[in-house]
Structure 1
Amino acid sequence: MHRSLILAAVMLAAPAWAQQKPLVIVSWGGDFAALQDAAMARPFTERTGHPVRFVDTDDPAGMVKAQVEAGNVSADVASVGQGAGMRLCEEGDAEPIDPSRLAPAPDGTVAEDFLPGTLTECFVATDIYSTVIAYDAGRLETPPATAADFFDLQRFPGRRGLGRTPQFTMELALVGDGVPLDQVYDVLATPEGVERALAKLDTIRDEIVWWEAGAQPIQLLADGEVALAHAYNGRVFKAAQVDGLPLAILWDAQMLEVEGWVIPKGAPNLEAARDFVAFSTSPEVLAHAAEILPYGPPRRSAQAMVGNFVGDGTTPMGPHLPTAPDNMTSSLFVDPAFWADHETELRARFTAWLGSE
């Protein structure tokens, strides 16, 4: 089926919506909401005539829950992380997602086209981003090849940038210590695994520069304060491709996170919300979004549709995405259920380790 026909198949006629109030999308603001507006909301309005309004917050899931519990829902769609989507669904705060309402892939499939865990009862993914090992390619004579190299100060001298948080940091330590990716959370769930992660961090402790905001590891690399850093893939891409810094990504042990839509229970524009979710998660729209920012599409068919970076029109975006086949071969999906169960205890132990001599 032709792409335009696929998109048209999931849309309702527009005229009846023209007099309705705007579709309200709760999102994070900044570049991410701008991406959602450019790739999804504005094209949706152009196709349907239905206006869209964004509401920015640093906690979309919290806003949804508060509105549902108060019985005063103004949000129609919300952008939330996978774990938050799971909780909203479990607690009855989100509408179910009907896969039959979503746009099919070119081969006609829907659910099968989504990567595992990206289409659930009340949540449909829009993008996958990752925390990666970034390094100064102009400083290291030999590029690192595995997560273990992050901890090898002899072969790869220089300080290391790490987020001051147990999440991501402890997983990286275990992978760097030889734990297979598919066993990381089983190991980290044990007291022995926690101590193993901290012992690995001890091997580079004196060379760690801790960061707390996403822009910091890029600045640390740019200033030469660290040679390698754990950083968000989108920020590394911008620094290298837009700002011209000599930074590169080691995709080994990248830590993937999923963002997507939920429809709040009692959304005032329920049918329009369902149609927006269908439109914005079609393979074609997801592929275009990945051309704006390097967040991978959660649908297999969309990956092959991704073209060049819109910022310069010439850089192929496919290889820069976390979901590129070559980049996915050694990756870890961050487990939100694990962190919901273990974050309190792991944060306490990690904080105690930070404060010890």
Structure 2
Amino acid sequence: MKNNRSVFRVATAACALGLLAAATAHAADTISVVTFGGAYENAAKQAWFVPFTAKTGNQFATESYDGGLAKLQAMEQAKNPTWDLIDLETNDAINACDEGLLAKFDRKSLGDTSDFLPGSISDCAVAAMVWSTVYAYDTTKLTSAPTTINDFFDLKKYPGKRGMRKSPKVAMEWALIADGVAPKDVYKVLATPAGVDRAFKKLDTIKSSIVWWEAGAQAPQLLADGAVVMTQAYNGRIDDAVHKDKKPFKVVWDAQVYDYEWWAVVKDAKHADAATKFIVSASTPQAYADLSKYIAYAPPRKNAIPLIDKTRLNDLPTAPENFKRPVQINAQFWADNSDAINKRFQNWLAQ
């Protein structure tokens, strides 16, 4: 009987050690996260990743990409997801959810969501922030300051190269606005064959002066190198260059195209539970406010606004002074039409 008790104690201790080891291993899971890199990833690390690691023990392995679903689709086909957490633009978030590439997200896990901005929580994702595509210039290189989107297309008044993302998204919207279409009517016009033709015709006027970039970090670098006189860019990248690198850049907010950025968990991700808990942690009002300390992206929760320093609010896309003539990206339009317009865009580039 004594021997049986001893065996039982040993077995119990071994079991306890096993459970402890399993719990420790779980707590130390490394979340594989893919983002758009650069200044945003650095800000996310400081505002969200580091605090989450300190709280849970979970580490992050980061990888950068420039959007799109090709790699995610390949992982699903191979039934071998190597990403856990993914940073998505809105149209990609919609398509990825529709294609079953993302895990469903339980809205209830966020608690009271009444202060979230409309449309900032979907079936598969939660908005990480509000960002904007703008254009910027080097104040030491231009004798007069551009103020409108028309100036971006005016090679006579502002000669020199233009930096643009190698994508029809935003380029098409800007071309129509510069051609006289009101921001509120952009997608109504772009939804017609004549509207698409009109946008490409306007882009033709600056095509020979465009320097294309594919990663967000390239835009401020093109400006810093003097390779372009003005460039399309993510507002946070320019803000980062101004405040951290002391670059003499200035943003032109006219016709800014704003959108949500999203966090989602990849379907069948190996560390889905930890990735989901991270999203919940990063979606509190304080967490959203913390992000704005490191990069000029706005929170998708109203309750986060009072937690942001008032001087910092002026750098955000949604500040009243910056939000006079904005365009909200029509994610459904791009989800429905991106394949056709992208194909024509590639053909246009090759011409």
TM-score exceeds 0.5: yes
Could you tell me which amino acid in structure 2 is paired with residue 22 of structure 1?
Answer: D
| Aligned counterpart, 1:339 | 334
146-155 or 51-60: bigger deviation: 51-60
CA distance 1:121–1:351, change in 2 (3 Å):
closer
Question: Of 163, 166, 169, which aligns to 1:167?
Answer: 169
Q: Is the 8 A contact 1:297 1:323 kept in 2?
A: no
CA distance, structure 2, for counterparts of residue 354 and residue 69 of structure 1 = 31
| Aligned counterpart, 2:319 | 324
- Counting aligned pairs with the same residue, the percent is 36
Question: Of 126, 133, 136, which aligns to 1:134?
Answer: 136
> CA offset at residue 304 of structure 1?
3.3
- Cα deviation digits, residues 292-324 of structure 1 (max 9, x gap): 12222222222332239xxxxxxx432222233
**DSSP 3-state at the match of 2:247:** coil
> CA offset at residue 25 of structure 1?
3.6
| Aligned counterpart, 2:297 | 295
| Structure-to-structure mapping, 1:26-37, within 5 angstroms | 26-28=33-35, 30-37=38-45
CA distance, structure 2, for counterparts of residue 66 and residue 160 of structure 1 = 34
Question: Of 274, 279, 282, which aligns to 2:281?
Answer: 279
Could you tell me which amino acid in structure 2 is paired with residue 322 of structure 1?
Answer: P
Could you tell me which amino acid in structure 1 is paired with residue 61 of structure 2?
Answer: F
232-241 or 265-274: bigger deviation: 265-274
CA distance, structure 1, for counterparts of residue 82 and residue 202 of structure 2 = 48
> CA offset at residue 141 of structure 1?
4.0
**DSSP 3-state at the match of 1:53:** strand
Question: Of 338, 345, 350, which aligns to 1:350?
Answer: 345
Q: Is the 8 A contact 2:163 2:228 kept in 1?
A: yes
Q: Say how many residue pairs are matched.
A: 327
| Aligned counterpart, 2:51 | 43
> CA offset at residue 248 of structure 1?
0.3
CA distance, structure 1, for counterparts of residue 268 and residue 204 of structure 2 = 50
**1:53 is the counterpart of 2:41:** no
CA distance, structure 2, for counterparts of residue 18 and residue 182 of structure 1 = 53
Q: Is the 8 A contact 2:167 2:342 kept in 1?
A: yes
Q: Is the 8 A contact 1:83 1:337 kept in 2?
A: yes
Q: Is the 8 A contact 2:47 2:287 kept in 1?
A: yes
CA distance 1:344–1:144, change in 2 (3 Å):
same
Instruction: Please identify runs of 4+ aligned residues in structure 1 that moved more than 6 A.
Output: none
| Aligned counterpart, 2:108 | 100
CA distance 1:186–1:43, change in 2 (3 Å):
same
Q: Is the 8 A contact 1:27 1:33 kept in 2?
A: no
CA distance, structure 2, for counterparts of residue 96 and residue 349 of structure 1 = 33
CA distance, structure 2, for counterparts of residue 351 and residue 60 of structure 1 = 15
- What TM-score, normalized by structure 2, do the two folds share? 0.79
249-258 or 232-241: bigger deviation: 232-241
**DSSP 3-state at the match of 2:318:** coil
Q: Is the 8 A contact 1:61 1:85 kept in 2?
A: no
Could you tell me which amino acid in structure 2 is paired with residue 81 of structure 1?
Answer: E
> CA offset at residue 90 of structure 1?
1.6
- The structure whose Rg is larger is 2
Could you tell me which amino acid in structure 2 is paired with residue 212 of structure 1?
Answer: W
| Structure-to-structure mapping, 1:232-271, within 5 angstroms | 232-271=234-273
Could you tell me which amino acid in structure 1 is paired with residue 96 of structure 2?
Answer: L
56-65 or 279-288: bigger deviation: 56-65
| Aligned counterpart, 1:89 | 97
Give structure 2 stretches of 5+ with no counterpart.
1-21
Could you tell me which amino acid in structure 1 is paired with residue 341 of structure 2?
Answer: L
RMSD of Structure 2 on Structure 1 (CA)? 3.1
| Structure-to-structure mapping, 1:96-245, within 5 angstroms | 96-104=104-112, 110=113, 112-206=114-208, 208-213=209-214, 214-245=216-247
CA distance, structure 2, for counterparts of residue 355 and residue 197 of structure 1 = 17
Q: Is the 8 A contact 2:39 2:237 kept in 1?
A: no
> CA offset at residue 122 of structure 1?
1.1
- What TM-score, normalized by structure 1, do the two folds share? 0.78
CA distance, structure 1, for counterparts of residue 228 and residue 64 of structure 2 = 32
CA distance, structure 1, for counterparts of residue 89 and residue 222 of structure 2 = 27
> CA offset at residue 44 of structure 1?
2.1
| Aligned counterpart, 2:16 | none
CA distance 1:76–1:151, change in 2 (3 Å):
closer
**1:78 is the counterpart of 2:79:** no
CA distance 1:128–1:200, change in 2 (3 Å):
same
> CA offset at residue 284 of structure 1?
0.5
CA distance 1:77–1:158, change in 2 (3 Å):
closer
Q: Is the 8 A contact 1:303 1:323 kept in 2?
A: no
CA distance, structure 2, for counterparts of residue 132 and residue 288 of structure 1 = 23
Give structure 1 stretches of 5+ with no counterpart.
1-15, 105-109, 309-315
CA distance, structure 2, for counterparts of residue 57 and residue 354 of structure 1 = 25
> CA offset at residue 176 of structure 1?
0.9
> CA offset at residue 159 of structure 1?
4.1
CA distance 1:225–1:188, change in 2 (3 Å):
same
| Aligned counterpart, 1:312 | none
> CA offset at residue 231 of structure 1?
2.0
